[in-house]
Structure 1
Amino acid sequence: MTKQPTVILAVETEGSAAPNWPYTTRSLAMDMSGVQPEPPAVVSDPMYASLAGVLQAAHDHAARGKGHTRHGDDDTPFLDQPTMQITRMIGLGYPAGQIMKKADEAKRMVERGEYDAAVYEFFGIINYAAAAVLAIRET
């Protein structure tokens, strides 16, 4: 039997945490990055609070975690960072390829029981997908 992930995502809504979820967006982001996260995103539909938690954690991973350390340490806005610059030069194949590579890595991490590392890879996938959306909207 394989071990279940140790990181579970959720977000607080109007004073109460989603039932049976051990993490709020704030505590999850702090656990994963060691830094104080931004305030949670506004959740317009409580039925999607868990999705908002994942998206907020992916944002925090890029803005304050690994992505910031690698690409934004000099306060370069996301739209001016290498991911966006390369996407503009090469096209949507760049973020699509990165998404495929990260998905393969995440799958192998789960198979090895590296659940938290796999979650980080999926945060990267979300952020590369966001870069693709931003590139499409620039055209």
Structure 2
Amino acid sequence: MSALFSLIPDTIAAAIWAMVVASLLPLFMAMLAKVLGGFHLADNAHPRDFLQRTTGAASRANAAQQNSYETLPIFLAAVLVAMLFFVPQPVINKLAWLYVIIRMGYCVAYITNLALFRSILWVLSMACSLMLFYLAIRISA
């Protein structure tokens, strides 16, 4: 795991890229849900209706998309607050990318219907965001 983290640069750009990737993850899940559900161009008139009618992996990919949107603001705020309060950048970067990796695993677990594993990954991803807030609080106190 430390070898993986050694690939993350200590620059602010690394955290910004993590925020970009996390922001694109729900869009990727939406596209995957449409592909798995057999989306056609005609379905684009009412894509939400189409996604509500999907079942199986397509429905779960759509649910992963929705949950990704739900947790995204907390993550983005946590990274920005940590930067604002001068949490060491390498720590921010590691937690930000760990969040992204865990969220990717979460999406895979959701689509493959691994409910317990998915829930564990959800808690771990939230822990990354909460840790960033905690570190900012510690520094500001």
TM-score (norm 2): 0.30
More helix by share: 2
Which has the greater radius of gyration?
2
